[in-house]
Amino acid sequence: MTTPICDFVKKYTEKQTVRLHMPGHKGKNVLGFEHMDITEIDGADSLYEAEGIIAQSEANASQLFGCNTFYSAEGSSQCIRAMLYLVCVSAEKSNGRPFIMAARNAHKTFVSAAALMDFDVEWIYPEHQNSYLSCDISAQYLDKLIEQSVRKPDAVYLTSPDYLGNVADIKQIAQVCHKHGTLLVVDNAHGAYLKFLPQSQHPIDMGADLCCDSAHKTLPVLTGGAYLHISDKAPKDMAAMAKNALVMFGSTSPSYLIMQSLDMANRYIADGYTEKLEVLTDKIDKIKSALEQCGFTLAGTEKLKLAISTKPYGYTGSELAQILAQKDIVCEFSDPDYIVFMFTPQTDDDQLEYFARTLCSIPQKAAVTQLPPKFSKPQTVMSVRQAAFSKSEKVAVEDAEGRILASATVGCPPAVPIVVCGEKIDSAAVECFKYYGTDSCRVVK
């Protein structure tokens, strides 16, 4: 696998060029890594008009992922906006106001995209009541929802895998979407690696039209590196429009450090990544069994994630996170009910062993019986855009009941909104805010 971006930067840095161009560090190691950080000089190509080394590198990534793959140096967040823009453009062609049915556990970027692009959203709530982080939807349930909908959605939008490691049945869901002439868009921020399991579970292979992966979440890529993938089966002009879509939401100075890491990740993936994953998932499966034997209750089925529903073991997720932090183990995420850990082949065997041993050494206590407040379905009073562009004020959540939420009020991670801009904050929502530790929010004035 070639690494054209890395090769170019290496050669450039070796030449000791007088850099009278941005960035300001001029390649001097003021902070330690600047010499590798260049900008779009001659020969370095241009991310949004790629014809040279970036185009070659993206072609390598496309070959690995088996679809049209484009780089982002600004995370899945940029890719999500780009995907939704592509949906809006394709909806405009059919003369409609864009309409998207979205699973309610969408990342806040989906909500900010709705504010920016002003498409209509109908939320799909989970079939069974569970955490606000998850939204279990079967293909049959979705089929019924689309059939009963007054308007045919231009796209269905799902987050899979979710923060707790639940993976949707993308294959069946894609069939339902396509039966109704609807696009399937998947936020696969947590699942870049799914492509490289011995049997791919990547959303594009399962039938999704568009998806994004945060390469930095599960591959050894610098923070910010992500992919926008477009299926060959998606409407023809989507891949041709991809760069126009990404440039709408991206900086004009994309990071070459991030692009180099995406470039080098192609070689890393091609050089036995599937085998490494197979070995690792085997070890994680064993750790999961060992933890269950110690009395822990696991959630989710995702291969590289380990989520524990902590209350049956006698702790909140946040309490367990604190205990582990004192022993130098830092989790990905915790809340009152869950703690989540993420592993990659870069997690050493010693670390895996220490993690499992430490967790099992924490004594089990009487189960915590306090349940999370029931997740409400707040009433929509105005569009996301109207609310997000309204004059707003910050109020304590105790004083927010009856007010309309103006801007996404959400901790990150997990950045999944409990109430969405434009919705009325009811008493159940106030309870949820308090339970998850949110003490103030912005409401429409």
368-400 burial, b at 16+ Cβ within 10 Å, e below that, comes to beeebbebbebebebbbbbbbebebeeeebeeb
Residues 413, 431, 435, 436: which binds ligand PLP (CB under 6 A)?
A: 413
Alpha-carbon distance 357 to 112, whole Å?
A: 42
248 or 290, CB closer to ligand PLP? 248
Size of the site for ligand PLP (CB under 6 A): 13
Q: Which of residues 196-225 bind ligand PLP (CB under 6 A)?
A: 214
Nearer to ligand PLP, 106 or 284 (CB): 106
The nearest distance, CB 202 to ligand PLP, in angstroms, is: 15
Candidate residues 107, 243, 311, 403; the one interacting with ligand PLP per rule CB under 6 A: 107
> Exactly one of 3, 69, 131, 159 binds ligand PLP (CB under 6 A); which one?
159
Query: Is 316 a binder of ligand PLP (CB under 6 A)?
Result: no
Work out whether strand 297-299 and strand 226-230 pair parallel, antiparallel, or are unpaired: unpaired
Q: Rank residues 224 and 422 by Cβ distance to ligand PLP and give the closer one.
A: 224
Contacts of 33 (CB under 8 A, 6+ apart): 257
189 binds ligand PLP (CB under 6 A): yes
Least separation in angstroms between residue 226's CB and ligand PLP is 5
d(CA 183, CA 65): 20
Q: Which of residues 49-88 bind ligand PLP (CB under 6 A)?
A: 75-77
335 binds ligand PLP (CB under 6 A): no
Crossing angle of helices 75-93 and 237-248, rounded to 10°: 130
* Least distance CB 112 / ligand PLP (angstroms): 11
Contact 420/377 with Cβ under 8 angstroms?
A: no
With a CB cutoff of 8 Å and minimum separation 6, the contacts of 404 are 381, 382, 387, 390, 422, 423, 424, 425, 443, 444
Residue length of the chain: 445
CB 438 to ligand PLP: min, Å: 18
CB of 428 to ligand PLP, least distance (A): 24
Report the residue number whose CB is nearest to ligand PLP. 75
Q: Which residue lies nearer to ligand PLP by CB, 3 or 166?
A: 166
Q: Are 69 and 227 in contact (CB under 8 A)?
A: yes
Span from 16-24, 145-153, 183-191, 393-401 in contact with ligand PLP (CB under 6 A): 183-191
Question: In the complex with ligand PLP, which residue's Cβ is closer, 4 or 165?
Answer: 165
- Listed in sequence order, the residues at least 6 apart from 349 whose beta carbon sits closer than 8 Å to its beta carbon are 283
> Strand locations in 233-389, DSSP E?
297-299, 305-309, 333-334, 338-342
Is position 104 an interface residue for ligand PLP (rule: CB under 6 A)? no
Give me 392's structure tokens: 């707003």
Task: Give the binding site for ligand PLP (CB under 6 A).
Answer: 75-77, 107, 109, 159, 187, 189-190, 214, 226, 413, 415
